[in-house]
Amino acid sequence: MNLVQRVQDILLRPKRTWPEIAAESTDTATLYRDYLLILAVIPAVADFIGLSIIGAGVFGVRFRMPIVSGLMQAIVSYVLSLVMVYVLALIVNALAPSFGGRRSPIQALKLVAYASTAGFVGGIFGLLPALAVLGALVGLYSVFLFYIGVPVLMECPAEKALVYTVVFALCAIVASVVVGALLSVFTPAPRLPVGAWLPILTVA
């Protein structure tokens, strides 16, 4: 799989790309190694550079997170974003029969992983903390990608795809709150009012 080509295809041509993804044979380890582990680096590194190297201003006051704290936050957020993809895939798989779909752990993981592409790529806005909200908005495109892909990968009726997506999005929001809380526990450091992890937390 060509990583750059897959990113372009899922972002720009999702309707054509989802059937290709559904037909692919893969496993959890391969999906993480060849795709998720690489893309999840984008928001983690961008946030570290944005907060600890470039810094941000709030009401005329310049702020930079200490390097060590920034590294800790980047590592923890990176790991948690990868865990969250897996947990959300479990939820997607469990919900499938409720929406007329078919359970398949690997298809659910593929769905969440590739739908998360917009959220991970949007994390590049973390380089400039003032633009972190734009990263979150880009990440919302992941919800649309999920909506397009769920009938294909989970084989649910098209008319139930919207409700399936809404329920999933609500689960993703709850997961994001949990991730934010864990970040606060494991990386106790001063933070900007605009959360630097918005692109990560909209990964779904």
Band (pLDDT 50/70/90 cuts) for residue 188 is low
CA separation for the pair 96, 93 (Å, rounded): 5
pLDDT at 51: 78
9 is a domain residue:
no
Q: What is the DSSP letter of 50?
A: I
Tokens of 33: 């190694």
Answer whether residue 190 shows pLDDT above 80: no
Task: Write out the residue range of the structural domain in which residue 179 sits.
Answer: 25-201
**Cβ atoms 47, 74 nearer than 8 A:** yes
The reply to whether 175 falls in a domain is yes
Residue 159 lies in a domain: yes
Strand-pair partners of 57: 62
pLDDT per residue as tens digits for the range 92-144? 999 999 999 999 999 999 999 999 999 999 888 888 877 777 877 888 899 99
Question: What is the rounded CA–CA span in Å between residue 2 and residue 58?
Answer: 41
Q: Do residues 161 and 151 lie in contact, with contact meaning Cβ atoms separated by under 8 Å?
A: yes
For residue 57, the model assigns a pLDDT of: 60
In a domain, 10, yes or no: no
Question: Is 136 a domain residue?
Answer: yes
CA-nearest of 203, 94, 95, 109 to 153 is: 109
- Say how many domains are in the chain: 1
CB 93 within 8 A of CB 105: yes
Partners of residue 58 on adjacent β-strands: 61
In a domain, 189, yes or no: yes
Q: Residue 198 to residues 4, 128, 162, 194: CA-CA distances in angstroms?
A: 23, 13, 24, 8
pLDDT above 90 as % of the chain: 53
Residue 15 included in any domain: no
Strand spans (E) along the chain: 56-58, 61-63
Residue pointed to by tokens 């919900």: 95
Residue 99 makes CB contacts below 8 A (sequence gap 6+) with 154, 156, 157, 160, 161, 163, 164
The reply to whether 183 falls in a domain is yes
* Higher per-residue confidence, 166 vs 73: 166
For residues 153 and 146, the answer to whether their CB atoms sit within 8 Å is no
